[in-house]
Chains A and B, each alone.
Chain A
């Protein structure tokens, strides 16, 4: 079963993409919820128990990425702060720090490219056998391929992940240490 278990790096991107998809796509969220219920409730009488349909996302790479986003872009500081008390101008000023730092982190550690090279808004045709994990159909999804429709989002694909190596025993759960000036 080893070849069906993705390595930690791709599991992270899988976890992140699943996270966003659950948040933005009610249908997908419903399917995942059903999947979770199914795996939780199903009686464990399967004749082939070694087939794991779900796996735990490895937390270390996620913690490491959180730490990097905080270190360079004050990501957690920004999200943990109550924005209701501030004007748009004040939030906008802080956003520059977050945007610059997080973008630097993103570009340093990932190579990202658009899934579809065409400008958004153009009509595209999907031949039979297209990769449905890379292109999602929305709206009037009926009939058979080839499908023709308007590109509403070009998509993103991580083509390379370059995360720093971690010292054995390093506590990744401290994503930002407290600072004490002597």
Chain B
């Protein structure tokens, strides 16, 4: 394979995608030549424009919907589907043909991610559907084609590509993302966690200054609130042979809560105000209202002297002045809905409220039930109180009820609003002060919208020895459920034990030991295992068998499945196998079933069609 000329970073976001690249030949030390690719995309029928972001929306047009020749791209005269800005704007008016939030579906354990289930609300038989996996492939394809169009001599497949995933993505979602990237031809692929990418971007932007802004025994909290998800990570600053090192010590749960929820919440406040005045809005007007509220919110958050900003819902017809509805968004409403609703001042002991779900919940995305980012943050720091106990030079601090960060890096467009940054800082600093600890420092200077893509491109450069790397390996230990052998008791399920198959902190390209326990696989039949992950059990070694665990210590992931092909065996025979875990060079977890003897082994599938309700 020829030498790559560029390191490319792709932010495959819930609401936006972006691509950044580093020219490896002209980068030395802290001087890195990095740029964002402008992404050509349809912005209206027959109009192609170059924008720095590609909205992660896909529209499946009706054959009679647009003039032939109006759906066109510089590299494809008949793309068939519409990706990007035009998909978003057209889809707002025809949601049954719009695929959105495919990334959230990609990590939804309740659905088959390879089944054509999107758009979620489309009428049967009328609209072609795609799987969440297919949608991810389409976004990556668009970026690949845009790149190859702009760089005809440097095929993207031949470059070093880092695709970012939320730190909280489970093994199945990571594997699907890697497969999607490999399906469009990225052979030199690595996955990178988004909060790490944000920190890499901050390091890159500091041009070497970062070494003066952090010190050994710092703990950096990365708070990344994107359009659709909230992602938390803790990164410790350590030292090896006199040089600073970064170690990612913990990642948070997958929280479906982001900036779009906040804009929608404001729109609902204003909508109910209009309803009280007897003005009823249709679906289109609510969209327009959300758009108007976003602008009004930005104006209010930017200037604290303004008490209210007018919001106009334009008429749908051509009578703009006569048909528009005027209202306003007040400072009080923003403070109540946004600041106190999503970032309330809570104690460090606060935990997110979990409402019991109704028995008949429609199959949709598992949005966070508690909108308070600060409560999710308190739960994360509380759960990770012991995350640094094993690191040399990090003494436990304060009461030990939660982990004390010493520095904070914000990421995501939500934090363009200075008041939200201030509120989060105040909440964290109040927790720290109550525990006798000094306030956190803010690591400033990263681009809130583009940092993830930029950091991912910079990471490709760093991997070739160009700068400091964040270490840490897998942020969870993984377990397979084993039914314990004991006499059956009528009416009682046999107690479940958890067998550790992959320890915490496995680095890319490493293999775990093989636990001695054996499982019987029936030849030719799929066998399922219950599968668990733990973000807190750092010391469990392969082969450890847990009899019981406290709530929240182990999270049950979706079931995994192994099938032994019947090639040279008799179907129905039972073959004893052991399970071996490894982490690929790409950064995905791999589980294999190995028989007692012989070189054969079979992959254990993470993405299994859900048994319930399908």
Q: Which residues of A contact B (CB under 8 A)?
A: 64, 67, 71, 74, 77-78, 80-81, 83, 85-86, 90-91, 93-94, 96-98, 100, 162, 164-172, 177, 179
Q: State how many angstroms separate the Cβ of B318 from the closest Cβ of chain A.
A: 5
Q: Are A94 and B67 in contact (CB under 8 A)?
A: no
Q: Are A164 and B47 in contact (CB under 8 A)?
A: yes
The residue from A64, A93, A165, A169 contacting B324, defined by CB atoms under 8 A apart: A93
Q: Are A170 and B318 in contact (CB under 8 A)?
A: no
Interface residues in B48-94 (C-beta closer than 8 Å to A): 48-50, 67, 69-70, 72, 74
Bound together, the chains give a CA A19 to CA B112 distance in angstroms of 60
The residue from A64, A77, A162 contacting B320, defined by CB atoms under 8 A apart: A77
Q: A74-B314, A90-B326, A167-B45 are in contact. List 13 more A-B contacts (CB 8 A).
A: A71-B44, A78-B321, A81-B320, A81-B321, A93-B310, A164-B47, A164-B48, A164-B49, A165-B48, A167-B69, A167-B72, A170-B45, A177-B45
Chain A residues whose C-beta falls within 8 Å of the C-beta of B69 in the assembled complex: 167-170
Q: Are A165 and B47 in contact (CB under 8 A)?
A: yes
Bound together, the chains give a CA A67 to CA B45 distance in angstroms of 11
What is the chain B residue whose CB lies nearest that of A78?
B320
With a 10 A CB-CB cut-off, give which of A85, A97, A167, A171 has the most chain B CB atoms: A167
| Contact status of A100 and B295, CB under 8 A, knowing A165-B49, A166-B46 | yes
Chain A residues whose C-beta falls within 8 Å of the C-beta of B320 in the assembled complex: 74, 77-78, 81, 94, 97-98
Is B120's CB within 8 Å of the partner chain A? Answer: no
Q: Are A166 and B321 in contact (CB under 8 A)?
A: no
Chain B residues whose C-beta falls within 8 Å of the C-beta of A91 in the assembled complex: 321
Interface residues in B317-345 (C-beta closer than 8 Å to A): 318-322, 324, 326
Chain B residues whose C-beta falls within 8 Å of the C-beta of A172 in the assembled complex: 46
Chain B residues whose C-beta falls within 8 Å of the C-beta of A168 in the assembled complex: 69, 72
What is the chain A residue whose CB lies nearest that of B283?
A181
The residue from A165, A169, A179 contacting B74, defined by CB atoms under 8 A apart: A165
The residue from B43, B44, B70, B318 contacting A80, defined by CB atoms under 8 A apart: B318
| Contact status of A81 and B319, CB under 8 A, knowing A167-B46, A167-B69, A170-B67 | yes
Bound together, the chains give a CA A5 to CA B19 distance in angstroms of 38
Chain B residues whose C-beta falls within 8 Å of the C-beta of A93 in the assembled complex: 310, 312, 321, 324, 326
The A-B contact count (CB < 8 A) is: 78
Q: State how many angstroms separate the Cβ of A91 from the closest Cβ of chain B.
A: 6
Chain B residues whose C-beta falls within 8 Å of the C-beta of A169 in the assembled complex: 69
Bound together, the chains give a CA A64 to CA B43 distance in angstroms of 13
Q: State how many angstroms separate the Cβ of A9 from the closest Cβ of chain B.
A: 15
Q: State how many angstroms separate the Cβ of A173 from the closest Cβ of chain B.
A: 12
- B282-319 CB mask vs A (1 if < 8 Å, else 0) is 00000000000001000000000000001010101011
Q: Are B47 and A170 in contact (CB under 8 A)?
A: yes
Q: State how many angstroms separate the Cβ of A139 from the closest Cβ of chain B.
A: 38
Bound together, the chains give a CA A168 to CA B46 distance in angstroms of 8
Chain B residues whose C-beta falls within 8 Å of the C-beta of A77 in the assembled complex: 318-320
Bound together, the chains give a CA A169 to CA B46 distance in angstroms of 9
The residue from B40, B67, B312 contacting A171, defined by CB atoms under 8 A apart: B67
Q: State how many angstroms separate the Cβ of A39 from the closest Cβ of chain B.
A: 34
17 inter-chain pairs at a CB distance below 8 angstroms, sorted by A residue, are A80-B318, A83-B321, A86-B321, A86-B322, A90-B322, A93-B324, A94-B312, A94-B314, A96-B310, A97-B314, A166-B47, A167-B69, A167-B72, A168-B69, A169-B69, A170-B46, A179-B316
Q: State how many angstroms separate the Cβ of B277 from the closest Cβ of chain A.
A: 15
Chain A residues whose C-beta falls within 8 Å of the C-beta of B321 in the assembled complex: 78, 81, 83, 86, 90-91, 93-94
Q: State how many angstroms separate the Cβ of A172 from the closest Cβ of chain B.
A: 8
With a 10 A CB-CB cut-off, give which of B43, B67, B316, B320 has the most chain A CB atoms: B320
| Contact status of A97 and B312, CB under 8 A, knowing A78-B320, A81-B320, A171-B67 | yes
Q: Are A97 and B324 in contact (CB under 8 A)?
A: yes
- B122-146 CB mask vs A (1 if < 8 Å, else 0) is 0000000000000000000000000
| Contact status of A170 and B310, CB under 8 A, knowing A83-B321, A86-B322, A165-B48 | no
